[in-house]
Amino acid sequence: MQPINVHDYEVLAQTQLARPIWDYYQGGSEDEISLRTNRTAFAQLRLRPRVLVDVSNSNLKTSVLNTEIDMPILVAPTAAHSMAHSDGECATIRGADAAGSGMIVSNDASFSMEEIARASQGLRWYQLYIHTLNEAQQLIKRAEAAGYQAIVLTVDTPLLSNRERDKRNAMGNFQKKYYPGAFSGNARHTINGSLDNSERAAYAGHTLTWDTIAWMRTHTSLPIILKGILTAEDATLAVQHQVAGIVVSNHGGRQLDGTIAPIEALPEIVAVAAQHCEIYLDGGIRRGTDILKALALGAQAVLIGRPILWGLTVQGSEGVRHILEILQKELQSAMILAGCPSIKQISRSLIQWT
């Protein structure tokens, strides 16, 4: 089957990945309510298209943190790409570059941040978990030296959630046996792997506070983006701490189960933060119409996670490029049909909640 949409890639990827890896990439926490809600929430939004608009010059170009990109779509940080393809994140970032997009490189990448940076000439941000302050300081300095343009601090992981698919599959043991380097790219430990008690005790994520932002600023001049905010209250605090961006996210349904979907949280966060920092969204995006809805509710750009892994599994860097271009073309079609020839003309008036 020649894939023509994101769902086709999902079907093909499942046939090529071992069950523990498929469940690791696909799964959420506990009853996976958040995982499902991320998709169903988009269906609760209806589009209000306008007609008789000159859409002959459609344009999807935009910018994030003053860097121009060809589409308002970025690659989200996801772990251990070498389990999907032997070239791992190096292939992913080449595909993102080829599509005119950009990539947020995971703290839990399979390859070092330097190796991934050498494979790219485009936009690249570095996603950070803080395991220890000393380790985080070193990772930030390495990211600066390797040419990363922003630090994306994930803030929704004071501990690893109860991911029952991974427990049933003994994912930690499977990864150690078949993919021993899958999480070894940047840090000594990974909260996504199998931690022993001493490693869990050393993990600093459960002690982080808003003061951590000030601490980070003493170690970097790069823009700081917070990933994992779902409430106006936290968005207001993020603005007070002068972050450059917010990623509205529930970790792809992989952390606290039963949360609101990011697309549901987006309006309240835009209301308090959009005048002060850029706002991005991830979680559940599978179609160009999903992206149009996110942009209409105030997102500057969206982040794509699991579909990128499907493309990487099926066709390597070319699959990543194709996934991004599929979504780009679907978004362009949706914009034209809605009477919005450019990103700037997308507005809240397009949306009706059911």
Residues labelled catalytic = 251
249: annotated binding-site residue?
A: yes
The burial of 23, by beta-carbon neighbours within 10 Å (0-12 exposed, 13-18 middle, 19 or more buried), is given as middle
154: annotated binding-site residue?
A: yes
Report the run of H or E that residue 34 belongs to, with start and end: helix 33-43
284: annotated binding-site residue?
A: yes
With a CB cutoff of 8 Å and minimum separation 6, the contacts of 143 are: 113, 126, 128, 151, 222
CB 89 within 8 A of CB 79: no
Distance (Å, whole) CA 301 – CA 197: 39
Axis crossing angle, helix 232-240 with helix 262-273, rounded to the nearest 10 = 40
Torsion of CA 333, 337, 341, 345, to 10 degrees: -120
8: annotated binding-site residue?
A: no
285: annotated binding-site residue?
A: yes
251: annotated binding-site residue?
A: yes
Cα–Cα distances (Å) from 127 to 68, 79, 109, 331, in that order, read: 20, 10, 10, 26
232: annotated binding-site residue?
A: no
127: annotated binding-site residue?
A: yes
77: annotated binding-site residue?
A: yes
HEC profile of 97-149: HHHCCEEEECCCCCCCHHHHHHCCCCEEEEEECCCCHHHHHHHHHHHHHCCCC
227: annotated binding-site residue?
A: yes
78: annotated binding-site residue?
A: yes
HEC profile of 177-221: HHCCCCCCCCCCCCCCCCCCHHHHHHCCHHHCCCHHHHHHHCCCC
Distance (Å, whole) CA 242 – CA 262: 21
279: annotated binding-site residue?
A: no
Binding-site residue ranges for glyoxylate: 24, 129, 163, 251, 254
Binding-site residue ranges: 24, 77-79, 106, 127, 129, 154, 163, 227, 249, 251, 254, 282-286, 305-306
Binding-site residue ranges for FMN: 77-79, 106, 127, 154, 227, 249, 282-286, 305-306
